[in-house]
Amino acid sequence: MTTAGPASILHYFEDLPDPRRQTNNKLHLLLDIVVIALSAVIAGCESAVEFAEFGRQKEDWFRKFLRLPNGIPAHDTFSRVFALLDPRKFHECFVRWVNALHEVTQGQVVNIDGKTVRRSFDRAAGIPALHIVSAWAAENHTVLGQVAVEDKSNEIRAIPKLLEILDLSGAIVTIDAMGCQKEVAAQLRDQGADYVLAVKENQPHLYEDLQGHFLQVVDGPDRLPGRQCHHTEETNRGRREERFYYATPVPEGPRDRDQWRDLNGVGWVIAFTTREGKGCSEVRGYISSLRPDAKNLARAVRGHWGIENGQHWVLDVVFNEDHSRARLDNAAENLALLRRLALNLIKKEETAMPSRRVKRRAAGWNEDLLAQILTAGTT
């Protein structure tokens, strides 16, 4: 297998163990299967049947850089391989590739959040829908890694597993209220990262104490230093949003404050939204290892909201992830990782297109563009 040209990304997947029985009658190479499937996902394909047909239509092109000793695999082969493939090993290769093209820089915001693949359940077999906790680099719009769990309630156990496989030194990590745990804060500090953790009613004492503190702050914001209060207004798609960010040192009141590693600041965000004459408001509390700075708090909070638009929305609307019915063995988790790999590559390749959906279609038509996407960041 050569690592030149469009196959250069496979350098990072060469150690991926083949899950098939070690016999001499395997007709197709594992890396050939992976690169055809990845190319097909980039070009808009969603199932093993489509992977196989895409491969047949592009066989002459694939032969320029893949060995294909017995032609294009059948759809059953794609299904079987991705069902058997060890998702942990596949993910290790993914992280190795991401680390090669993406260096976490000082102060970069990394968001940790969960997403459910809604059609991946099998009620008859008692298999719940796959829930994936992933890490997202807010500024670069790059998926850094993922861990799969059975349901949202298991995020608490999944977050530490995801953190330990990532290089987060120098990063600012944001996590929603599910991950607001003392052990998570300590782990992030041990890994050299700062944290901004959302606080809700799952930490009732902490939330009540923050609420009492900021009720006094909001009543007298003029008494705050300038850097501890920040205000934004914007109008987007007919929706007007006004936000007030407050960041102060940790007050004396919060219970168990000493149990939160390196707790240096607390934050409060009040958001007012108006659409078509109807208004609503939302209040959120935060704790952080960062020194109080309302603009930094705003950057971290807005960065975390960006994972919804930059990753979750794109995977659902552009990659149709919520309609994926893959569920046999490891197939759902492995194909979810394949979609995230494709998303990273499409983002990394800089050819301007009207949308990511158009870019995927164009990659299916234009082999030069497809080759550029496959080599984005890996040449």
- Containing structural domain, residue 160: 97-317
Does 341 reside within a domain? no
In the predicted structure, residue 109 carries a pLDDT above the cut 60: yes
**C-alpha of 3 from chain center:** 27
Query: Does residue 343 lie within any of the structural domains?
Result: no
Residues 76 and 219 in one domain: no
What value does the mean pLDDT take over residues 201-221?
87
Domain boundary residue among 268, 297, 317?
A: 317
Give the Cα separation of 330 and 239 in Å (integer).
Answer: 41
Domain total for the chain?
2
Q: Which of 14-23, 333-342, 365-374 has the lowest mean pLDDT?
A: 14-23
54 and 133 fall within a common domain: no
DSSP annotation of 68 reads -
Q: 126-129, long-range: CB within 8 Å, 24+ apart, which pairs?
A: 127/327
CATH code of residue 263: 3.90.350
pLDDT more than 70, % of the chain: 91
Same domain? 216 vs 285: yes
Kindly state whether residue 57 falls inside one of the protein's structural domains.
yes
Residues 35 and 104 in one domain: no
**C-alpha dihedral (69, 17, 337, 27), degrees to nearest 10:** 20
The mean of the pLDDT values for the chain is 88
Could you tell me if 185 and 311 lie in one domain?
A: yes
Clarify whether residues 222 and 154 are in a common domain: yes
Q: What is the pLDDT of residues 76-94, one digit of tens each?
A: 999 999 999 999 999 999 9
Q: How, if at all, do strands 172-175 and 194-199 pair?
A: parallel
Read off the tokens for 210: 């923050």
Q: What tokens does 65 get?
A: 């850089």
Task: Provide the pLDDT for residue 4.
Answer: 47
**Residue 209 maps to a domain:** yes
**Domain check: are 56 and 187 in the same one?**
no
If asked whether residues 148 and 124 sit together in one domain, one would say yes
180 and 305 in a single domain? The answer is yes
Residues 101 and 58 in one domain: no
One domain, residues 203 and 291? yes
Whether residue 156 is contained in a domain is answered as yes
Classify burial at 72, counting beta carbons within 10 Å of its beta carbon; exposed 0-12, middle 13-18, buried 19 or more. Answer: buried
Say whether both 126 and 256 belong to one domain: yes
Q: For residue 67, give both structure tokens.
A: 């060995």
In terms of pLDDT, which residue wins out, 366 or 106?
366
